[in-house]
């Protein structure tokens, strides 16, 4: 989506880079949260 906006002239290259950086940060936070929940669930399963 960002690349198509850049290609169409809707955003600048800096805007694209900033957008991609924000997407990556959001993805990293979501992956960390999933890893945290997974570790907790694994601990609960091993207690039984």
Domain with 6, as residue range(s), is: 2-47
In tens digits, the chain (48 residues) has pLDDT values of 888 999 899 999 999 999 999 999 999 999 999 999 999 999 999 986
Query: Which tokens in the block code for residue 1?
Result: 């989506």
The count of domains in the chain is 1
Residue 21 has what pLDDT? 97
Residue 38 has what pLDDT? 97
CB-CB contact of 16 with 6 (8 Å): yes
CB-CB contact of 2 with 19 (8 Å): yes
Enter the pTM of the model: 0.74
Q: How far apart are CA 48 and CA 34, in angstroms?
A: 22
């Amino acid at each position: 989506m960002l690349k198509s906006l850049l290609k169409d002239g809707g955003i600048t290259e800096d805007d694209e880079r900033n957008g991609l950086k924000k997407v990556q940060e959001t993805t990293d936070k979501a992956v960390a949260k999933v890893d945290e929940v997974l570790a907790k669930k694994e601990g609960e399963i091993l207690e039984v």
